[in-house]
Structure 1
Amino acid sequence: MYDDVLVPTDGSDTIAETLTHGLPIAVANDATVHALYVVDSRITAAGGEENSPSIERSLEADGRDAVTAVDERASAAGLETVTEVRKGTPAKTILEYADEQDIDLVVIGTKGKSPREKVTSLGSVSERVVDNASIPVFVVRDPDKTTAN
């Protein structure tokens, strides 16, 4: 059912919980796990022309570390992996990658922001992916950030 599972990562601690739920799905389907980190072009642009190259290099290094961490966990579970670091707007780039690679399922973590945090932030990448994806999206909430309604 799921031959290719995409696990976008931002390198945060939420990836551990995301993989706890996503890897069993990939194992059960003998799927290839795609680890994707997106260097947010909005951040590099905000750094100004002078600082942009060093910010971008730093974020690319963070991205390589982030996809390597996913690769190590997926490989330890006996899964084939593909890792990639791309530049762009995170939600849009995740969806483009999913389309290009014929991904069957996206497993994405969310930090469980409060309504106030959502208003003051750039918006939720996971929400944008869910709202615009043409394939199933499994959202894993960070248990340390859940809020009561």
Structure 2
Amino acid sequence: MFKRILVAVDGSKTALHALDKAIELQQLTQAEIFLLCVFKHHSLFEASLSMVRPDNMQIPDQALTEYAKSVVEQAKAYATDREATCRGFVKGGRPSKTIIKFAKEKDVDLIVMGSHGTHTDVDGMILGSVSQRVAGRAHCPTLVV
């Protein structure tokens, strides 16, 4: 049925619900689970435009990478507590495009993700959510939880 399942995680409760579904499928199919946390890339120029300027300015991508790594580690621990195995990855870029590209690269045959993540802003309502974009453009089935 499924050999490789990609679960997009962002630290939200819906992402954990998606991981629960992927774990259920793993128990049925012995599929490999990939966890992916995508952070939006910010340039130093974008960071320099901030009104808040700390004394020791950290490159935004470094901070976001560390946060994304912690999200993946928490999801891995959550899966381990449920006797599931998975591999974690962190990527920078536009979330929907990055998820789709990663799924193709890893020859994933199912993407599982939450219906909405940690951000619920006006852009999400106007442009459509990441899960909607992924479901509409992915090369494989997408289960939105």
Task: Judge same fold: TM > 0.5, yes or no.
Answer: yes
Q: Is the 8 A contact 2:22 2:33 kept in 1?
A: no
Q: Which of 58, 62, 71 is the matching residue for 1:66? A: 71
Q: Is structure 2 residue 122 aligned with structure 1 residue 108?
A: no
Higher helix share: 1
- Aligned-residue Cα RMSD (Å) equals 2.6
Q: Is structure 2 residue 131 aligned with structure 1 residue 126?
A: yes
Q: Provide the residue aligned with 1:11 in structure 2.
A: 11
Cα distance in 2 between the residues matched to 1:6 and 1:98: 7
Q: Is structure 2 residue 89 aligned with structure 1 residue 84?
A: yes
Q: What runs of 5+ residues in structure 2 fail to find an aligned partner?
A: 51-56
- State the Cα distance separating 1:21 from its structure 2 match: 2.1
Identity %: 29
1:85/1:29 Cα in 2 relative to 1: closer, same or farther (>3 Å)? same
Q: Is the 8 A contact 2:9 2:16 kept in 1?
A: no
1:114/1:10 Cα in 2 relative to 1: closer, same or farther (>3 Å)? closer
Measured against aligned partners, the alpha-carbon deviations of 1:60-106 in whole angstroms (never above 9, x if no partner) come to 11111111122122233333311110111111110111011011110
Measured against aligned partners, the alpha-carbon deviations of 1:1-55 in whole angstroms (never above 9, x if no partner) come to 11111001112222222222221012211111100011112xx149725379532
Q: Is the 8 A contact 1:31 1:80 kept in 2?
A: no
Q: Which amino acid aligns with 2:17?
A: E
Runs of 4+ residues over 4 Å off in structure 1: 112-117
1:116/1:64 Cα in 2 relative to 1: closer, same or farther (>3 Å)? closer
